[in-house]
Structure 1
Amino acid sequence: MAAGDDEVATALGLPVADLVLLAVVVAVAARGAQRLGPATLGIRRTAFWPAVGWGAAVLVGAWAFDGLLAVLAGGGGEEGGSGPDRVSATLALLAVVGIAVAAPVVEEISFRGYLFAALTRWRGPWLGAVVTALLFGVAHVFALPPVFLLGAAAFGFGMCLLFWFTGSLLPCVAVHSLNNAIVLAVATGGQLAWAIPAAPLASLLLLLPLARERAPQAAS
């Protein structure tokens, strides 16, 4: 019972920590912007099908890179002795909200909408993407095995490119949420498979009402 309570507390702490981080980012951004609005942080509408194409390319590339890392680390052939424990409804909901909804929204606003955008204005998109990706990887040092930190950085680099080519944070949030939801579904032996369609939809529904401006023409 105590272990379950600890898991619930940890899952509940994730969205709370994300909200604190988001508040800090917005406060810092407000000090450096004459007029801070959702569009300032990349929350803008964009063309649907190009966003789907770029998002799919980034996600497939990230998975392929993670697969390569797993093979190089010799982790591809592990066999578990038993399946994952049954996840309670409360813990499942909190985990999905914290990991597959809140975290993608907050991390994309923080790393792509604010940090990458600022670095791009300073030194251009490629250096901005590299620096942002490295910091994104470092931010996951306590959440991922060391071998997959490089994969997190590569994913962060892909998210920067997705933001750059679409001009909008919405595709980044959707792809990030989808990725995290798939990870949760796999980690729980399919118990949280419902999060795969639900989490990206919930993430986008949180931001779509704020996306009143259209993204500038996609970068080439």
Structure 2
Amino acid sequence: MSHRASPRIGMLGGTFDPVHLGHLRSAVELSEALSLDRLHLVPAAMPPLRGEPRVSPEERLALLRLGIGDTPGLVADPRELARDGPSYSADTLASLREESGSEARLVMALGHDAFLRLADWHAPERLFELAHVVVIDRPDHEAPLPRALEALIRGREAAHAEALMAQPAGGLLRLTLPTRMAISATAVRRRLAERRSVRYLLPEAVEARILECDLYRHH
């Protein structure tokens, strides 16, 4: 069986608080770069910081679904919201692995800042047993890596997507996406709190729902 016959499944976690066009454009470009069959966008259950207007995890998921709309290959995945206790990425990957089978090419994508802390995560070796790790690099990513991270990724780095996809799991790929939209959810929340325009930062359906339900507003 040629390995292209194996499904390629990705996972992109985040608070999506709220989902914006930077998240969604990155998801589309990640799917293209890796020829993914499906990319699961997985909202974390993590509560927002104190002092922010509270938007429930269910509401963040609803906004994510609206944001994705009918985009092919993107899935709003509620599995971390359904789980009790802390949401570890390894557990999420384990359930995706169970669903997709041992031959599927499973990928966890993360940003460069999260990657720098990877060696401090819960069970980082287990991540590589379950999946590949793909780092969405920033333009200025040439800084040296922490020593524990160097040790964790030694010998894992693939030169390009097809080399990574030769195996079901265990590799690392650093990827620069073509469109780097410098949109921050923090700035979007601030604009909403100040009742300033967020047009063209969020999908229209997400903006409409936020305004209709008066989310992220200080009262």
Pairwise TM-score range, normalised by the shorter structure: under 0.3
Which structure shows the bigger proportion of residues in strand conformation? Answer: 2
Higher relative contact order (CA 8 A, sep 6+): 1
Which structure shows the bigger proportion of residues in helix conformation? Answer: 1
What TM-score do the two structures reach when normalised by structure 1? 0.28
What TM-score do the two structures reach when normalised by structure 2? 0.28
